[in-house]
Amino acid sequence: MMKYTPILLIMEYVYIRREGDKETIDDRVKGFEGCSNESLIEDYNKQSKCGITGIHAQALYLMAMGHVFFKRFGRSPIYMENNVLGMKEQIKLVGDTFEYVDKKSYKSMMERKIEKHPRREYLEPLIIPGTARSPVISCDATKGLIEISGRMISDSQPQSFEKVAVWLEKFTEMPPKPTTVNMRLEYFNTPASMRVLGFFRQLEIIHKQTNQVVINWYYEEGDDDMVEAGTDYANIIIIPFILISYPE
């Protein structure tokens, strides 16, 4: 069985529910891998014109296509946001990569929500205590510092990251400041990676506006799984991403 990128693991968690789904995706991936870049983009554009129909088979088809996009281009016009599978606008091949035909920047649901809010000059710090199954979260707008540490199990205190999402919306309204994000997770399961990626996507919005966001991904020496997870995220998001080891 092939190894998926984190965003496609999220799609796998949401959409794969039937026996034979994984095999279907693997077969689709093999088919797409045999296509040229031109054919892959042409096929995507056809799907983009039709839109999401809600058919289970289409979700598996797009998962496989998105996986091949990531392997070839390091990014994909197929995305997952708030558990909703979606496609961006039409694309075209430019050299060894692709560009969107519509030069207007793609705006996510989160960006559209942020545009509706007035700017604020001060934002209260957010501190959420951790548990054995949920991380300690500290967000300080005045310092431009966000820290998350501990263990993260997806079904434990889901409202914690909802509070962080609301806080980040307000933080984005403020005047630009350098922002440092320290991630020191000891463990997080596959479903929890959805929340981590959603958090990073919000940070991307801030980074696009200020170009002053840095993520420090701390891992214990010898923890290859956490190194691999950090490397995967670094390859997906557009924020400076630094892997930092610390002694056992």
Residue 73 lies in a domain: yes
Q: What is the CATH number of the domain that holds 207?
A: 3.30.750.24
Residue 215 or residue 157, greater confidence: 215
Tell me the C-alpha to C-alpha distance, in Å, between residue 245 and each of 29, 112, 136, 183, 202.
35, 37, 19, 12, 25
Check whether residue 22 and residue 143 sit in a common domain.
Answer: no
Residue 4 has what pLDDT? 46
pLDDT tens, 175-196? Answer: 567 899 999 999 988 878 888 8
Percent of the chain with pLDDT over 90: 30
Residue 118 lies in a domain: yes
Q: How confident is the model at residue 78 (pLDDT cuts 50, 70, 90)?
A: confident
Q: Comparing 34-43, 110-119, 145-154, 237-246, which segment has the lowest mean pLDDT? A: 110-119
- The stretch 81-103 carries a mean pLDDT of 80
The CA distance from 168 to 114, in Å, is 10
- The stretch 147-173 carries a mean pLDDT of 82
Q: How confident is the model at residue 247 (pLDDT cuts 50, 70, 90)?
A: confident
Check whether residue 140 and residue 229 sit in a common domain.
Answer: yes
Residue 1 lies in a domain: no
CA dihedral of 6, 219, 141, 237, whole degrees rounded to 10 = -30
Q: How confident is the model at residue 38 (pLDDT cuts 50, 70, 90)?
A: very high
- For the chain, the domain total comes to 2
Q: What is the mean pLDDT of the chain?
A: 80
Q: How confident is the model at residue 53 (pLDDT cuts 50, 70, 90)?
A: low
Q: Comparing 19-33, 67-81, 116-130, which segment has the lowest mean pLDDT? A: 116-130
Check whether residue 118 and residue 230 sit in a common domain.
Answer: yes
Residue 224 lies in a domain: yes
Decide which of 50, 81, 104 is a domain's last residue: 104
Q: Say whether pLDDT at 80 is over 80.
A: no
Check whether residue 126 and residue 215 sit in a common domain.
Answer: yes
Residue 149 has what pLDDT? 94
Check whether residue 71 and residue 127 sit in a common domain.
Answer: no
DSSP letters of 49-90? Answer: HH-----HHHHHHHHHHHHHHHHHHS--SEEEETTEEEE-S-
Decide which of 56, 82, 104 is a domain's last residue: 104
Strands (E), 88-178: 91-94, 97-100, 126-128, 136-140, 145-152
- The stretch 32-53 carries a mean pLDDT of 88
Check whether residue 120 and residue 13 sit in a common domain.
Answer: no
Residue 15 has what pLDDT? 47
pLDDT tens, 150-161? Answer: 998 866 666 777
Check whether residue 137 and residue 52 sit in a common domain.
Answer: no
Residue 188 parent element (H or E): strand 179-188
Q: What is the largest distance, in Å, between two alpha-carbon atoms of the chain?
A: 54
Residue 43 or residue 115, greater confidence: 43
Q: Say whether pLDDT at 14 is over 50.
A: no
The CA distance from 79 to 97, in Å, is 17
Check whether residue 67 and residue 123 sit in a common domain.
Answer: no
